[in-house]
Chain A
Amino acid sequence: MTPAMRLILLGGYDADAGFWRDAVRAAGSDVSPFQMGRTSTLITSLKASGVWFNLDRLWLFAAENATQALIDLKARATATAVNSPTFTANRGYKGSHLSAYINSNFNPSTAGGNYTQNGASYGLWVETAESTPSGSYRYMGNDSSNYSEVVAGTSFLSMQINQGAPAAATTIPSASTGLISVSRSGATATARYLNGALDSTTTLASIAMPNNNFNILAGNNAGTAYQQSDARAAAAFMGGNLTALQQAALYAQLRTYMTAVGVA
């Protein structure tokens, strides 16, 4: 198919949105024109802000169906729903305590992407917070000897990235919803964000990237998922370092998408 023919058939949608729809169709499902419009708008705005080019993966779990939810927009890579997390259309995936979660199948050490030891970011959009915040449940993690995880602590979230020791907790309440994300911009510089706004920074030194897959709604201790959370995730991403401006842009652009599909 020629590029011109493709553009005509796609109705002017962003090309990457079209490739994503192709992947969803190849997996046996489809994408409505409404969802194509929302997704194309999101990708276009992420490209305009420069965020898109720093991402390795971006899943919109708040999608029309589970097939859409598990195929990421950037690499069209597939995540795996492990132990039957509950999918709700246009809301996302809900885990269960010590059982159900999402395996992103994204290993930073082997992906060869933007995520590097001293330039990395990841995060998730929490649609419904963990029901029992206690430090025993992980929102996201890849953390055997490398601490890269978001922990739902008793009062506040704890967040770390490519570091050899846990960081002090953030001031982000554990009941928070929205985009929870963390960036590493250098060997001794990390920043934690809630809804695109900087919460806190650390100077904890980086260590080699984890050589396991990122889990979503669970930690990953040397290849074994653990401390699965019963929160509901509406989106998740991994990539290279995002600046404060890019974190704000990512939030604003995801917020537009989430509002369009009805996520509060």
Chain B
Amino acid sequence: MSAVILLSATEAVAVAGPSSEAPLTAALQPVALTDGRFILGVDVLADPLHVEHRALLAGFPQTDLASLTSVLPVAR
């Protein structure tokens, strides 16, 4: 599975939205877990279009997606 960054609801709001580098073509939209936390793939840390959030995101905890199975968004 994939490594992801864990965010609180407040942190998710802080980083969500269009990239200031490319507002029309790049955005961050953290994915809600069922326990109130949010996740983003670690690939965002290397994306120059999201450099404005890199330092903040790099300080958040990371985990493997497999460890979150019980709180992943419910499949329809």
Question: Are B41 and A100 within 8 A (Cβ)?
Answer: yes
The reply to whether the CB of A183 lies closer than 8 angstroms to some CB of chain B is no
A66 to B24, CA, bound (A): 12
Complex contacts, A227 vs chain B, CB 8 Å: 73, 75
Q: What B residues does A136 contact at CB under 8 A?
A: 75
| CB nearest to A141 among chain B residues | B76
A80 at the interface (CB under 8 A from B): yes
Q: Nearest residue in A to B44 (C-beta to C-beta)?
A: A84
- In residues 34-53 of chain B, which contact A (Cβ within 8 Å)? 39-41, 43-44, 46-47, 49-50
The answer to whether the Cβ of A107 comes within 8 Å of any Cβ in the partner chain is no
Decide: A84 near B50, CB < 8 A? Known: A79-B25, A97-B2, A100-B41. yes
User: CB distance B65 to A100 under 8 Å?
Assistant: no
Asked if A98 meets B72 with Cβ closer than 8 Å, knowing A79-B25, A80-B27, A81-B26, the reply is yes
Checking A82, A86, A219, A221 against B28 with a beta-carbon cut-off of 8 angstroms, the contacting residue is A82
Task: Check B31–A225 contact: CB distance below 8 A.
Answer: yes
Chain B residue contacts of A225, Cβ below 8 A = 29, 31
A143 contacts across to B, CB distance below 8 A: 76
A211 at the interface (CB under 8 A from B): no
Contacts of A83 in B (CB 8 A): 27-31, 40-41, 43-44
Closest to A147 in B: B76
Q: Which of A207-221 contact B (CB under 8 A)?
A: 219, 221
B interface footprint on A58-89 (CB within 8 Å = 1, 0 otherwise): 00000000110010000000111111111000
Beta-carbon contact of B73 and A67 below 8 Å: no
A43 to chain B, nearest CB (A): 22
Complex Cα–Cα for A69 and B1 (A): 27
Compute how far the CA of A228 lies from the CA of B25 in the bound complex, rounded to whole angstroms. 18
Give A78-119 as 1s and 0s: 1 = Cβ < 8 Å from B's Cβ atoms: 111111111000000000111110010000000000000000
Give the residues in chain B near A96, CB-CB below 8 Å: 2, 41, 43
A37 sits at the interface (CB 8 A): no
B residues less than 8 Å from A79 (CB atoms): 25
Task: State whether the Cβ of A130 lies closer than 8 Å to any Cβ in chain B.
Answer: no
Residues on the A chain within 8 Å of B18, using CB: 80
Q: Which residues of B does A touch, CB under 8 Å?
A: 1-2, 4, 18, 24-32, 39-41, 43-44, 46-47, 49-50, 65, 72-73, 75-76
Would you give 26 A-B contacts (Cβ < 8 Å), ordered by A?
A66-B25, A80-B26, A81-B27, A82-B27, A82-B28, A83-B30, A83-B31, A83-B40, A83-B41, A84-B26, A84-B41, A84-B43, A84-B46, A85-B43, A96-B2, A97-B2, A97-B41, A99-B2, A99-B43, A99-B44, A100-B41, A100-B43, A103-B27, A135-B75, A225-B31, A227-B73
